[in-house]
Every structure is written in structure tokens, then in C-alpha cells.
Structure 1
């Protein structure tokens, strides 16, 4: 058959049909570049890339890729990578094991595949799987040979018996590998190259330029300003790891970059903070691939107007600097699909773990598990925090190897005194109406707004924020106001964050913003005054950081007021005991000294409260022991271990657009509103919501668009979480 008709990908995926030869050429180029950068056998990587998809010439795959109905004799489970191994006889027998390692599991694990399509799954089931995978070999193998010949690899006809013997050898090899608990570099390399080439297609070779390039971080070395005391702390200590404890505004981000010596993975907990740092990195770093990665990063890149390649490259290997959430590195600890590629990419790099004190117990456990793995694969880890309890600090220090391996940086007490910014006032609740704001709050807000102040009001639940925004909007109708929480359409959430910066933070004059915890770390904004519900002390300190945030020579030593409401009878989503202990540590009508924060934190958190996720982690004492070579665990492990199961909703007004065949994945994602399953389980109306069977299977909420535009998504429920 003509090579132009032998397809690897059908039209509509990446813009058009792609021939098997074209795709193979792209993967070969990517595999060679990755192998060179990572010190892998370049010759073997090239041969594995040439071999990996030849099984797509099989009639079963070609019928499907061309959109034809399968004939009765081809209606069987087909894995093209297994058919590819029929071409092993063309290669030196000494290379077979390495080639099988590269090819056999680049799509499916060799065993325990959810659909039982791995080579050992098929072997265990019995039946004619081997015969099926070589069905029509005498005809279609010629097309595979033609691809190899075009790549300059010597070929000859292969008898069917030889091909069958090669597959039987692959089974025996995989049976031996299944007994080994170790990760496969070859599998990781081929997966990385295949994903890169499949996404970039004809742009593969141009985009290989600069891959794995060490970033030029010299712009982070030029700041030497007394306003940012960390800029005056030496960063050339030879110990590989770093622990920095410093207040917001001390220059922590720049200092963490100054400690980096190679390619950088910079992790942050929130999407908005990742977006902001990535924009700064693009201004500061003049070379290499610069990327960001979080759940919605492709949408952000799509709105940015940057080229399509930048969007496609986000999750691919080889970035000079990648700004991301630690969840994007979690595969290395849990052994989920693609973990070998992530390990290859991050091995030996600098990894910054910033703001790790903000994570919930499950996520914090994940971060610690990631630390263990990254230390084992030679990464240099740099941890930054503003509010870390000593017990957690000591645990991180231990996992990094102790003081001999960790450069510990803290600012002296006199310097910390220059960061005193907040005077704390406690507000008692009315015993007769403990869930409502006391009357004194209105008088306080009226005086502040009359004085031209910008006021930030923070509630712990979406429901509370929505109710208070409605009340304050009616009470102060002429004042600029805004509501911000997590239950807006993703497209609207991004616009609201931009509006908060543009129309409230950067514009003088009185205003108030009502929000939930979404403002704690993620946004670089500065208000004159805050009114907040009681919360855990570390969360409160982060909230306080949104007030009097700008550090200038004029405002050093100047205090701004923060008002904290007495804990309500219910403190969801927080532990009531932690909230009570935190509130007890706050002064009333007095300065909260920066130098005393560590003592207060240690009083609230005397022990490390980290969830036990050990049953989900595949490493023990630095060794991969809970998973076999060439296999992986399912992605559902992350959901179970981290309790991050979530759902989505859409508005009834968006239903038709969401369901339209012409609506892209990106557009559907923009229309979605993320909601936790916990919230939906307690919602009395959930059983009445229609749930769509496409996209992310969202629930359709029959809320009027005008109400949504005022308050965001409204769900009737006993409690509403962030």
C-alpha cells in the first residue's frame, strides 16, 4: 500500500491526517534529542522510536484510523505496540531487551491494565492474541519495512514464524521484568518522545531547539535592595538543599531562584499565583523553554494570544523553567501513568517548593512523599515558607538530609520587626445571633469607607460570602464592590481576578471586596483594612498579607487594622479546635509582631498533622518497592489518596452551547464551574439536577443568569466549602 495511505493519526487530531512515516520521523527526532540531553543510549533510543509504532500498519488499526467498519475477523482487542515487536528480528539480538523496554509499554502497562490490554494481561487470558496481532503479517509487514527503509535502517522480509518467536520472547522478557521493582528509563524516554511528537507533529523538530537548556537566571541575581532583605543574604552555600523562612515581601521568590543551578521546577499551590509568577519568569529569563502547568493552564495560554506550540508544550519534558502545582509532580510518588517520563524530566534538576505551609493535610503528605523521591533521584530542593510550624519544619529538614545537606535561612529578629504591618482587633459575636455579623461591623465599615479605605471582607464559606455581599451591597449601594469565590465559571473566575487587580487594587478610593479563602495566597493585592472570620492561624496570617502588602520606605513600621470575628458555632471547613486555639493566640487592639509568629504557630500546631498516605506511595526507604517494572497504578489512586474528588456544574443557560458538537474541549472547560463532591452530596437538590453525558459530565443548575452574574453559582446546602 502507498505510504501516503498508511496513517498513524486520523484527520481532525492536530489539524490533519498524519502518515505513519511522518509520525515515526517526528518521534525519532524527539527521542534522539531527549536521549542526548539525558545521557541515554542515543542509538538505542533512535531504533526504539523507529520500531515503536510499526504495528499501526496492521489492518485492524488502519481500518479504524480511516474510519472504516472492522470486518468480522478483525474484531478483537489490538495493541499496535505489540504488533510492532514482530519486527524485532531485524535488529541485533543484543538490542532486543532494550528495544522491548522502550516499546512494549509506551501506551499500556504490561500487566494490570484497567482494560486488560497489557501484554501479560493478554497472555494470561489465553486465546489467539498473538495470532491476532500478526494477522495478515505477510501483507502489512511490507508497509512497516518501508518505514524503516525510509529511515535508513537495513531491512529484509521477516517470516511469520520469526515474528511469532519475537513476540514469545517479549512475553518471557516482560514476565521477568514484572518480578523487578524498578522504574524503566526506556519506557519513560519513549513515552516522552511519543507525547512530544504527537502533540507538536510537524513542529517537532523546530521545538526541539532549546529543549533541556539551562536557564539564564542572572536577572534574579541583580537585585540588592534593603527593602528586600533576602537580596542581601548570600546564596552560594554548597549544600544542595535550602529551607527559607521569611515574611511575604522579603524577596523570597528571587532568593529561591538564586539558589538554583540548573533547570528549575517551581511549585506553588494556587493557579493565580502560578500565572503571576510565570508572567514574571517570562520577563526575567531570556532563554529556553518556559512553561507553566496547572489544571487550567491550557486555557490561560489560549487566552494569552501566544502561539499554539506553547500551549501544546506545557506538560512535555525539557523546560528550562516550569512553574506548576506539586500535583503535576505527584506521579513520581504514586506511580501513576507517565511517572517514568516525569522522573526522567525532573531528575537532577532544581525543584522549588514554595508556600508549602498552605496545603491541607492530604496534599502536605503528598508534598513530603514527593520530597523523598526527588532527593533519591538527585534533585536539589529549595523550600520557601512564611508560616511553617516548627514540627513540620523539622520533618522537612529530616527528609532533606538534615543540616549537613540543607542551607537554612532565617531573618534576624530586628529585620523581622521591619515587617510588622498589622494591628489586630477581635470582634465578639452577638450570642443571640451567633451566625450573623454584629452591628458594630456596619459602623466600622461605614467609617472606613467614608475615609476612602479599601476594605477586604473574608468569609470561610461561599454561602456566607454570597449572603454578606448581598447585604453590604444593599447597605452601601454607591460604593464600588466585588464578590470573589471559587464558584464562578472558569472563564469568569479569570476575568474577576484580572478585574480585582485592575479596578480595585490599582485604583484609589473607597471600595469593598467580599471573598473566600481564594485570596489568601494567590493574588498580589493590597487593601487598607480587613474584616475576616476566624480561621486557622496560618490561614489568617496569609489573609493578613493582603493588607498593607506594598513594601516601601514610607510604609515600613506603619500599621493597618485587621478585624477578626470570634469563631462561630460552626467553623467549616476548618477544625473547630484549631480555629479556637488560633483565635486565642491573637492580640486584641495591638500589634501582631512578626518575630512572635513562630511561637504562636507552634502553640497552635505542636505536632505534625499529616495524613497517612503510605499505602498509596510506591517508594519505601528510597527504593521503588510497591510497583513492578513497566507497570503503573491508575490515576484514581491520586483521587483516593488526596481526597480531591471533584465535580463540575454548568448553568442551564450554557447547556445548549456545552452540548453542541462544534463546541471544543477548551470552550466546555471555560463554561464549567468546579464544585466538590462533598458539597454536592449534601445538596438536597442534586437529585433533581440533570447530568450530561459528555465532557466532564457536569450537573446542569437551573439558576437564572442574572442571579449568577451577581452572586456566582448558588446551591441550596447546609454548608458551602471553598
Structure 2
């Protein structure tokens, strides 16, 4: 039998691939994952060898080829992994439990409670009397082909009578029925290997030798008097780190100096992780440096292999948002592989104060879960309410487990760099942009300054930009927010850092943005005008002004202007915004760094987080889920209210239909589902890709981004 004719994947799923080739790739990856995570390499190899053999079943092959001639494909529900269980007699009976864990649920959980359409092994056992016979239908005809694949892969085989295959499947059912609460590391091993091999296919083997190498972080041992944390030792014996220090104090380098192994560097916003990824590449850390979010392939022109690696197990350094780690808290699909990936690694949580109540709750639960998994957790921020600090300290195990780092008052005084001015609104028209703000802006641009204007919503930023474009048509300008095509957004971030921020290119210039610029973008403006926001967010925004520290700039203040809170402070709580505005100095007075903590604690006297404990899968060290099961992805969406959708411009409709996945991604404009809900019946929705809505008009997109009437959105 020609094993090349037995396919594992079709052309529409990443390229036609034989079962022999795919199985070889997964076996190689499984051995590497097992070696890195301390599991039996022999068992991992056997599980990988058997995991997809059921794809030789004619029902799967006919479906893959979209043929209608084989009746089995039209009359049965076929799960190829369940057919694969018939090959268990090839291995020793003592190996069956681990191999079943790898094979039976590497795609679907073994049971999906409250789902009448569940496709797990126990779901089928409950509702079908014929599923076992269906999955072994025609056994004598197709099993030899699967055995021939194994022979070519160097795995010893022998003929398996159908009766033995039936006994193996019945054993697997009984094994699954005895499962109790917990999580299966073996399921994680196979899922990680299968995902990795499926993404890279023939390139997988070349990536494996260095996949789990620790990075070389020696670059970050640099010292400079202007960065006081670079002069502090980072060899404290405590496992974890908590650091609060001003922007520009060397916090990023210090957090990385505290790391000892593989690094997961988390940040809250797309722009900030894009910037950090570029910084890590420039540091020449060796091994894989990977970016993990929906548009990572658009940040740099990298090779195809690196683009596919973005969401896979392994990497010396990963730069990502905490949402990519949320699976370990909520038990969503693939959470076992994520646990294996992060266990024992160094996790940096940068700027943890920026998350809203639901996401802040998630971050706190992530901290607790990662601590249980033996991770070294390093938390840094420029501002943090004391109540949040104390809660993080508690979850990390208290002072005995945490190196607490802060700068002395004398050093903090060197970071006083902003003169704060408050701008009153017109009582007769409090929603309007104040005339005083326009006058300040005109004078600043006339003086050749680089000015940053920050609005709290996308719609507000677009309106402000249009007005300033009319007022200052000759001034170099840029608008930055989330509603640009993903490819355009990445290009604008680079322009912001490399053009508008270049000291060799003097002003005047004008950038209008939402708060996507708040965190980790290394930009420095001469002046800022910003809408009122929570105090911790304002401090982050102020950090984009007078950011470059030299011996000449220390002690010199540059102006930041804060508009009085408007009637609507969306997306923020108005009471918090008003309390924050009251804590700001005025009339050009400085905002002393050493007073920030006291002012923030007045604004945030209590910790405002949501109770998500009913959705968390951990009860102390015990997993509440049943082994080989997981929660649906909707749990993460429901708890965090982070569901989003995609739009495309009507002008891009045909290009999107004709493009492959990666090109489609570049055309997409992410929009929150909450913002899109009111328009969902107005626009055509495509049935391909990420099913984007097609938005007409937008002739001014190139400057303004996507526009339609919708609810305020702040990202």
C-alpha cells in the first residue's frame, strides 16, 4: 500500500500533507517537549505515533478529499482520534493509560457537560449505541495502511484483529470514566507537539534543538548613572520581585536581570508589546524571541517559520499580553500545554496597574496560578495603589518570597520633570474642547515643539485630529488608535518611534492618540494636552513628555496640560477621574515623584476587582476540572468582556476574498463586539477568514482610520 496516499491534512488546511509526514513531525516534537518538561520521551513518542492513525479511516479520507462516494462519510460522526484507539494493542498494556490521555482528547475534551452535541468519547458513549462499531468500520481494509505508516516510521507493528481493537476502545472508555478532578500533563505534551508540528510541518525539526533554551540576558547588565536601577544588584535570594519605579529609571533592564530561565514578558497593549519585541530582538538574546498576539506577523518582516511560531510552545523569550496566559486560570482549550510551557519559567508582568476590574482580577489569579506552578514572577510598574501592591505581595507569598525594590526619596526627586497645568472647560458647553487648549497648542507649535494630544476614545481622537488638521495644515502630524488595518497600525507605531520621536528631526509636529501610547513606547515629546483620566493612567501619559534624561535635563520641567473632566469620561469611571483631577497640582507646579504614592492611594482607597472565583479552575493546588476536560473559550470572553470582531473596508472586499490568511489579517480592523453590536445588521458579513463586517465609505481612512457611529471605544 502506498502510504503517500493516506493524507493527514488537505490543501485548505495549510497544505496537503501525508499521514506519514505529519506523524513523523509530531513524534519529533513530542520527544522534544517531553525532554524539556521532564516526561518519558519513549511514551511521548508512542503517543505521537498513534495519535492520528485513525485518519486512515475511509470516513476521514473521503471528507478530506471532499468526495461523496464513500457512504460512511455521510452516515456516521467520525472522530479520527477515537479510531486511533484501536491501535493500542501495538504497545504494552502498562503504557495504555498515558497513551490514551495523549490520544483521546488532543482535539476535543473527553466530555462536554451540558452540550447535547458534544463529540468527546464519553459524550458519544452516552448517546450512541453504534459509535464504537462506526469508528472501526471496515477495519480489516484500512488498518493495514495505518500500520504501514508506522512501519515506515520505525515503529514495530503486527496485525491487530478487530476484536482486539474493540477491546482497546472499551478499555479507553472505562479509563476515561474513572477520571477525577485534575489536569493531564500527557494531554498537554501531545497538544503542544501536535500544534507545533501542524504549524511548521517540514520545518519543525529544524526548530526543535534550541526551542526551550534559556536566553542570554547579559545585554541587560549594562549600567549608567542616569538609570539608577542599573546600579542596583539583582541577585536577591527571593523567588519573586515587586518593583515600583518612575519611567526611565531602568525598570525593564532590572526585571530582566532578575530572570534566570526562559522569559515570558507581558504587557497590556499591542503598541507596547510590539515595541518590547523590537527591543528584545536588538538585545541578541539568542534562541527564539517570539511575539504572541493576533498581529505579530505584521510587526517585522520575518521568515515564515518565525511567523508560524508565534503562538506555539517553546521560545527563549515570549512577549505577550496576560490574556495569552489566562488559559491556566480558566481552563480553556489547550490550558495543559500552556501549563507545561510556563512551568518554572520567569514571568514578567509589566505595568500591572493598567487593567480594568475584570482584567485586574484575571491578573491576580494568574499571579496565584503561576506561583503554584513554580514560576519566578517579576512585577514592575511606574504607579500602583498600595492596596494592589499589598494584594500582589500576599499572593506571591509575602516578604520572605519577594524582593521588594524601590528608589530612595533623594533619587526620586531627580525624576520630577512635569509642570502640571489644569484647563477649565466652558460651563455653558462643557463637552467642547476649551479655547485655552487651542491657544496653548498654537503657541507650542509656533515655537517648534513636539506636541502629543491624548483623547480617551477613538471617536474623540478622530474628531480632535480633524479639527487640528484644519487649524494647522502645514504641521507634520499623525493619528494613532486601534481602528486602523492591522498592517497600517504596526507601520504607524514604527513611524511614531522612528520619525516623530527622532531627536535629529526637530519639531514642530503633532501626534493625536488614544491611551495606546501610555505604556512602554519609548517616545519623548516637549508638551502634552490630555483629557482627564485616572491618576495612574495620567502618570503613564506624562511619561511620554520629557522622557529623555540627560545631565542637562534633570531638574527641568516640561508642561503637561490636563483638561477638566467632561460630562462623559468614558471609558473610565467619572468619580475616579474627578478624584484624580483633584489630586493634580496646577498653575505650572511640579508633580513630585515622591508624592505620587500618597496621591494615588487617595484616589484608590480600596481594591476594585471583580469576583471571578467561580470561573477559576484552581482550589488551592487542586484543579477543579475533570482530567481530559476543559472549559469553552466563551468562559474567557464572558468573564472579561473582551470579545472582539473584525471589520474591513468595502474597498478591500475583493482583495480579502482572494487573499490567503496572512494577507487577510493585514486588511482587518479590530473592533470590540460591544461597539459593533448596534451596526451588525447594517453591514454585509463575509463567510471567510475571521468573518469581518464590510464597512462602506471611509474615503478619509488613510488619515483617520475606520469611522462609523458607535459606542465610545478607548483602545
Question: More deviation in 71-80 or 399-408?
Answer: 71-80
Q: Which residue of 1 aligns with 2:254?
A: 255
The 5-angstrom pairing of residues 513-528 of structure 1 reads 513-528=511-526
1:482 CA displacement: 2.1
**SS of the residue 1:514 aligns to:** strand
The 5-angstrom pairing of residues 128-143 of structure 1 reads 128-143=130-145
Q: Which residue of 2 aligns with 1:534?
A: 532
Find the partner of 1:544 among 532, 542, 545: 542
**Is residue 710 of structure 1 aligned with residue 710 of structure 2?**
no
Q: Deviations over 1:457-494 (max 9, x none)?
A: 11112222222222222222222222222222222212
Q: Which residue of 2 aligns with 1:196?
A: 196
Q: Which residue of 2 aligns with 1:298?
A: 297
Give yes or no for contact 1:703–1:713 (8 Å, CA) kept in 2. no
Q: Which residue of 2 aligns with 1:505?
A: 501
Q: Which residue of 2 aligns with 1:671?
A: 667
Question: More deviation in 106-115 or 316-325?
Answer: 106-115
Give yes or no for contact 1:237–1:407 (8 Å, CA) kept in 2. yes
Q: Which residue of 2 aligns with 1:246?
A: 245
Question: More deviation in 578-587 or 450-459?
Answer: 450-459
The 5-angstrom pairing of residues 237-636 of structure 1 reads 237-300=236-299, 304-506=300-502, 507-589=505-587, 590-625=589-624, 627-636=625-634
TM-score, structure 2 normalization:
0.97
Give yes or no for contact 1:60–1:70 (8 Å, CA) kept in 2. no
Find the partner of 1:692 among 679, 686, 696: 686
1:695 CA displacement: 2.5
Question: More deviation in 101-110 or 286-295?
Answer: 286-295
Q: Which residue of 1 aligns with 2:186?
A: 186
1:499 CA displacement: 2.0
1:571 CA displacement: 1.0
Give yes or no for contact 1:372–1:622 (8 Å, CA) kept in 2. no
Give yes or no for contact 1:479–1:510 (8 Å, CA) kept in 2. yes
Q: 1 CA distance for matches of 2:376 and 2:568? A: 43
1:285 CA displacement: 3.4
**Is residue 22 of structure 1 aligned with residue 25 of structure 2?**
no
Q: Deviations over 1:82-108 (max 9, x none)?
A: 111111112111111111111111111
**SS of the residue 2:101 aligns to:** helix
Q: Which residue of 2 aligns with 1:209?
A: 209
1:149 CA displacement: 2.1
Q: 1 CA distance for matches of 2:458 and 2:552? A: 36
1:320 CA displacement: 1.1
Q: 1 CA distance for matches of 2:713 and 2:10? A: 45
Find the partner of 2:118 among 91, 116, 119: 116
Could you say if the C-alpha distance between residues 4 and 680 of structure 1 is closer, same or farther in structure 2, counting changes exceeding 3 Å?
Answer: closer
Q: Which residue of 2 aligns with 1:87?
A: 87
**Is residue 98 of structure 1 aligned with residue 94 of structure 2?**
no
Q: 2 CA distance for matches of 1:35 and 1:323? A: 24
Find the partner of 1:638 among 636, 639, 642: 636
Give yes or no for contact 1:57–1:143 (8 Å, CA) kept in 2. yes
Q: 2 CA distance for matches of 1:70 and 1:351? A: 53
Give yes or no for contact 1:48–1:99 (8 Å, CA) kept in 2. yes
**SS of the residue 1:384 aligns to:** strand
Structure 1 alignment gaps of length 5 or more: none
**SS of the residue 1:24 aligns to:** helix
Q: Which residue of 2 aligns with 1:35?
A: 34
Q: 2 CA distance for matches of 1:677 and 1:4? A: 44
Could you say if the C-alpha distance between residues 151 and 712 of structure 1 is closer, same or farther in structure 2, counting changes exceeding 3 Å?
Answer: closer
Could you say if the C-alpha distance between residues 157 and 255 of structure 1 is closer, same or farther in structure 2, counting changes exceeding 3 Å?
Answer: same
Give yes or no for contact 2:332–2:630 (8 Å, CA) kept in 1. yes
Give yes or no for contact 2:523–2:544 (8 Å, CA) kept in 1. yes
Q: 2 CA distance for matches of 1:638 and 1:118? A: 21
Give yes or no for contact 2:330–2:617 (8 Å, CA) kept in 1. yes
Could you say if the C-alpha distance between residues 70 and 97 of structure 1 is closer, same or farther in structure 2, counting changes exceeding 3 Å?
Answer: farther
Structure 2 alignment gaps of length 5 or more: none
Could you say if the C-alpha distance between residues 477 and 39 of structure 1 is closer, same or farther in structure 2, counting changes exceeding 3 Å?
Answer: same
Q: Which residue of 2 aligns with 1:229?
A: 228
1:365 CA displacement: 1.0
1:720 CA displacement: 4.7
Give yes or no for contact 1:24–1:53 (8 Å, CA) kept in 2. yes
Q: Which residue of 2 aligns with 1:151?
A: 153
Could you say if the C-alpha distance between residues 591 and 429 of structure 1 is closer, same or farther in structure 2, counting changes exceeding 3 Å?
Answer: same
1:77 CA displacement: 0.9
**SS of the residue 1:418 aligns to:** helix
Give yes or no for contact 2:262–2:316 (8 Å, CA) kept in 1. yes
Give yes or no for contact 1:337–1:632 (8 Å, CA) kept in 2. yes
Give yes or no for contact 2:63–2:73 (8 Å, CA) kept in 1. no
Q: Which residue of 1 aligns with 2:64?
A: 65
**SS of the residue 2:8 aligns to:** strand
Q: Deviations over 1:602-641 (max 9, x none)?
A: 000011111111121111223211x110011111111101
Give yes or no for contact 1:428–1:566 (8 Å, CA) kept in 2. yes
1:454 CA displacement: 1.0
Q: 2 CA distance for matches of 1:599 and 1:640? A: 35
Number of corresponding residues: 709
1:119 CA displacement: 0.3
**SS of the residue 1:102 aligns to:** helix
1:419 CA displacement: 0.5
Could you say if the C-alpha distance between residues 253 and 522 of structure 1 is closer, same or farther in structure 2, counting changes exceeding 3 Å?
Answer: closer
Q: Which residue of 2 aligns with 1:654?
A: 652
Q: Deviations over 1:547-593 (max 9, x none)?
A: 00111222111100001111111111110100000000000020000
Q: Deviations over 1:685-706 (max 9, x none)?
A: 654323333322322222242x
Q: Deviations over 1:156-195 (max 9, x none)?
A: 2111111101100100000001xx1111010000111111
Q: 1 CA distance for matches of 2:230 and 2:289? A: 24
Q: 2 CA distance for matches of 1:462 and 1:153? A: 58
Q: 2 CA distance for matches of 1:464 and 1:655? A: 27
Q: 2 CA distance for matches of 1:204 and 1:694? A: 28
**SS of the residue 2:137 aligns to:** coil
Give yes or no for contact 1:109–1:631 (8 Å, CA) kept in 2. yes
**SS of the residue 1:688 aligns to:** coil
1:522 CA displacement: 4.7
Could you say if the C-alpha distance between residues 245 and 654 of structure 1 is closer, same or farther in structure 2, counting changes exceeding 3 Å?
Answer: same
Could you say if the C-alpha distance between residues 512 and 184 of structure 1 is closer, same or farther in structure 2, counting changes exceeding 3 Å?
Answer: same
**SS of the residue 2:178 aligns to:** helix
TM-score, structure 1 normalization:
0.96
**SS of the residue 1:543 aligns to:** helix
